[in-house]
Amino acid sequence: MHDIELTQLRRFVAVVEQGSFIEAAAKLNLTQQALSSSIARMEEMAGVRFLDRKRGGKQSLTVFGRLLLARARTQIGLAERMISEIELLRDARGGSITIGIGETMTGRHVATAIRRYHRQQPDVQIRIAEGYTESMIDLLIAGEFDFIVGGPSHDPEHAELLDFHHLFEISDVLVVRGSHPLAGARELALRDLQDFTWMMPAFRGDIYEAIQVAHMRAKLPPPKRIIRSDAVVVGSWLCLDDDYILTVSPDMVSPLIHLGGLVTLDLSETTILRHACLITRRDIRLSPAAHRMTEEIIFEAERTYGINPAPTRRAYA
């Protein structure tokens, strides 16, 4: 069954839609014998009959034929869309881009780059996925992303497979709701935060370790009340509804900071410096559409954070 070709499916659909071999052969510019032989070979491969032949050259579908017809139309439609996308992509007029957005790159500068690109290339379908860079790199290697913008990888294997273009550096922040008792306080010390619940990411432990180390250096006991969550929206609501302290990359909560729902605390002991990168596969050339998108993102990162002094392309070991 797996040897059935797209051409055979097109011919089968034509017979069904025209109602007879004679009319379908004329539409396809084939002889009736060639068309009949093509359908017969398909039935022989499948081991079933798809059509019941009747007098006058008319045909009716068997139960197997009805199943094949539905699947054939789907496969033909997919093939036509694929060819259309390839033609658009060839001319850099269309196609699709799939982008992975890491936690250091969820801010407005990325949205600005995507919005500007979409105005210039409205026929390109843009797909965006958000998550931790580490969890998306395997998908990039598997070909499910065109590129990722996020943090670097320190896995030695990735140095052989991936290129990392450094974009900018950014530090995590401590944020609280606008009505938090510490909101607006100046000259905060770590001991001032001890009576509050801390919220931090669950996936990675670097923030948790940084908080522990900071308390040890300050000769303070580590926080006892901790919520670890990678659900950004739920975490944001928790922080908006109670006097929690959220430690996070500023891009992940920048809309709430911009709107005044959350405010930052003037305390840097527990924060971590993050590196934002554009990550691509070394063995695959970006499509014209994807390459144009990377140019917009690089331009917007440089416009927001300054010209990148790092090498244009390098791998992080």
Split at pLDDT 50, 70, 90, the class of 182 is very high
Looking at the chain, the whole-number percentage of residues with pLDDT higher than 70 is: 91
pLDDT in tens, 223-236: 889 999 888 788 88
CB 113 within 8 A of CB 64: no
pLDDT in tens, 116-148: 999 988 888 999 998 888 888 989 988 899 999
161-179 average pLDDT score: 89
pLDDT in tens, 223-274: 889 999 888 788 889 989 999 999 887 777 888 888 889 999 988 777 788 8
Mutual angle of helices 6-18 and 21-28, in 10-degree steps? 130
Q: Is 187's pLDDT higher than 50?
A: yes
Task: Give me 221's structure tokens.
Answer: 């006991």
Task: Give me 244's structure tokens.
Answer: 């929690």
Task: Give me 41's structure tokens.
Answer: 């070979």
Split at pLDDT 50, 70, 90, the class of 317 is very low
CATH number of 173-271: 3.40.190.10
CATH number of 96-170+274-305: 3.40.190.10
Q: Is 113's pLDDT higher than 90?
A: yes
**Domains 6-83 and 96-170+274-305 fall in the same CATH topology:** no
Q: Is 89's pLDDT higher than 60?
A: no
- Give the count of beta carbons closer than 10 Å to the beta carbon of residue 176: 24
What's the pLDDT at 97? Answer: 92
Domain locations in the chain as residue ranges: 6-83, 96-170+274-305, 173-271
Cα–Cα dist 167/182, whole Å: 33
What's the pLDDT at 88? Answer: 59
Largest CA distance in the chain: 96
Fold that domain 6-83 belongs to in CATH: Arc Repressor Mutant, subunit A (1.10.10)
Q: Is 152's pLDDT higher than 80?
A: yes
CB 41 within 8 A of CB 101: no
Q: Closest by alpha carbon to 248, among 101, 103, 100?
A: 103
CB 39 within 8 A of CB 51: yes
